[in-house]
């Protein structure tokens, strides 16, 4: 499997196998996602332009995480010894996932705040108009 699927030499390190497996899995899931989007567009009667679909629906973010190795490398799991696959905490992909989620939350929070402020401005405008009309 190492040679056939991951295109690595038989004596490749476990860490390199893990990184290559993650790359393979990520590419495969993104291809499946793209194929699914194209299939839905075809069934919907739309014209299928792969680049247009990707622009509309975006790509699928994929994180192949290793929580055990992350916890060991972060010092959260004392007594478990050495990490099993990765030597670098970034290779566990949990820091990347955390960053991705943090960015998504910030975007959503900004959108919600902007929407709330727009509603508040509209309410204030309506209240002012009401008060001005009642003065007359």
The answer, as to whether pTM is greater than 0.85, is no
Q: Which residues contact 47 (CB under 8 A, 6 or more apart)?
A: 41
What b/e readout covers 66-87, taking b as 16+ CB neighbours within 10 angstroms? beebbbbbeeeeeeeeebebbe
Phi, psi of 7 (to 5 degrees): 55, 45
Residues 38 and 48: their CA atoms lie apart, in Å, by: 6
User: Tell me: the pLDDT tens digits for 84-134?
Assistant: 999 999 999 999 999 999 999 999 999 999 999 999 999 999 999 999 887
């Amino acid at each position: 499997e190492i040679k056939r699927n991951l295109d690595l030499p038989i004596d490749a390190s476990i860490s390199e196998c893990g990184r290559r497996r993650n790359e393979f899995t990520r590419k495969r899931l993104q291809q499946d996602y793209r194929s699914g989007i194209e299939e839905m567009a075809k069934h919907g009667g739309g014209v299928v332009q792969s680049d247009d679909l990707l622009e509309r629906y975006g790509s699928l973010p994929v994180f192949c995480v290793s929580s055990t190795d992350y916890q060991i490398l972060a010092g959260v799991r004392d007594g478990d010894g050495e990490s099993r696959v990765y030597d670098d905490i970034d290779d566990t992909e949990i820091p990347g996932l955390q960053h991705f989620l943090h960015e998504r939350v910030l975007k959503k929070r900004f959108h919600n705040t902007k929407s709330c402020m727009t509603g508040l401005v509209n309410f204030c405008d309506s209240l002012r108009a009401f008060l001005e009309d009642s003065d007359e």
